[in-house]
Amino acid sequence: MPMPTFARGRPPPPDGPPRPHSGRARRNRARPFFRDKAGGARHGRAMFLLERNDAYARLTLNRPEARNAIPAAEWRVLTETLGRVETSDVRLLVVTGAGGTFCAGADLTDFNAMRADPAAIATFRTDMRASH
């Protein structure tokens, strides 16, 4: 039987014995995903870049240092930007991400600050759902 091929390099290592679990929760531990993220500093440029041509527009998520994760405060801006496109004569919207990554989703660093604030959580949910 032939070995399967993998699109990105070598095959994964074979399954070994399970790693021991310490029993402690893994909260607030740095994970490799965030290794290349700017340490808490917010970027000083626009999160969403909108370019319009005759019948189409391109919306670029512009936060490559965080894999284009959208901060809680930017969901409302996204909704406003999409509203401008919707009311224009644009027939096609292309959404792309800067830096080789489309979008990691919501910025998880905002969640710890919102955890103790039910009003902030409600605002975040409302803003995020309105952008769809």
Quote the pTM value. 0.64
CA nearest to 49, candidates 84, 92, 73, 88: 84
Domain 44-130, CATH class in plain words = alpha beta
Q: Domain residues of the chain, as ranges?
A: 44-130
Q: Tell me how far apart the alpha carbons of residues 68 and 32 are, in angstroms, rounded to a whole number.
A: 16
Does the pLDDT of residue 122 top 50, yes or no?
A: yes
Question: Tens digit of pLDDT for each residue in 2-44?
Answer: 555 545 555 555 666 555 555 555 555 444 333 444 444 455 6
> 35-62 in b/e burial notation, b at 16+ Cβ within 10 A?
eebeeeeeeeeebbebeeeeeebebbbb
Q: Per-residue pLDDT tens for 67-114?
A: 999 999 899 999 999 999 999 999 999 999 999 999 999 999 888 888
By CB neighbour count within 10 A (0-12 exposed, 13-18 middle, 19+ buried), where does 73 fall?
middle
Tokens of 127: 């803003």
Q: Using one digit for the tens of pLDDT, what is the confidence trace for 35-49?
A: 444 444 455 689 999
Find, among 47, 59, 39, the residue nearest to 106 by Cα. Answer: 47
pLDDT of the residue at 36 = 42
